[in-house]
Structure 1
């Protein structure tokens, strides 16, 4: 089973920025919403250890869902660039940058495709978020 972790680098009103590692190797950068008390659709995920399982999202297609987050469901890894694209989920990008005045992650489609390809046929993986 693969091991995926996010090391958070910055938490601000602009979002929660981090680096995702797959089996100990840096894979991409991440963006989650700011810390808002684990509010559904509006907050980053509390630090901790979770299981992720493969799902087919009606909106985003094949992806992984973070399971067992207290009080929350449907937290997905998906494409997007700025905090308003997160909807409480984790956006993947190739690098940090700006879209107009907003900070975010860039080259999201490519980073997301690469993440899914590197996960291969895995149906689930262990997932840890560290501050």
Structure 2
């Protein structure tokens, strides 16, 4: 299994995208939406990470429960794929959800049903896999 994030919309505070889970036959088996911080040249805690290929591992923490850890991001550490709804919930990580909606009325789209989306991803993806961000 592989994971692909296609960034579709760059804004001043955030980046919106689509995430596809692709099986060994290159068939898309699951799609969801992503929310990342704006692109600010990979600055720690205020920017999305650079486009590219990354190794990802499953991880568990008290704060996020079961989630994913994106490995070997240049000049960054602990970049995660985890649940959350708003760009204010992240410090460089990737949030996942079922759809986009301005939940809190701040004029920016948020991701919905993030915890349920994470559960689906955790059930689909192996312990380690490759992520490509385009």
Output the TM-score relative to the length of structure 1.
0.91
> CA shift at 1:116, angstroms?
0.9
Unaligned runs of 5+ in 2: none
Residue of structure 1 aligned with 2:115, choices 109, 123, 127: 109
Give distance in 2, aligned partners of 1:22 and 1:6: 9
Contact residue 14 and residue 34 of structure 1 kept, 8 A? yes
Give distance in 1, aligned partners of 2:43 and 2:61: 21
Residue 11 (1) aligns with residue 10 (2)? yes
> CA shift at 1:57, angstroms?
2.1
- Where does residue 79 of structure 2 map in the other structure? 75
Q: Could you say which structure has the higher strand fraction?
A: 1
Contact residue 14 and residue 103 of structure 1 kept, 8 A? no
- What aligned pairs does 1:1-131 form with structure 2 within 5 A after superposition? 2-23=1-22, 24-25=27-28, 26-99=30-103, 100-101=105-106, 102-119=108-125, 122-130=126-134
Output the TM-score relative to the length of structure 2.
0.89
The number of aligned residues is: 127
**1:67-98 residue CA offsets vs partner (Å, 9 max, x unmatched):** 11100010111111111111210000000110
Contact residue 27 and residue 115 of structure 1 kept, 8 A? no
Q: Which runs of 4+ in 1 moved over 3 A?
A: none
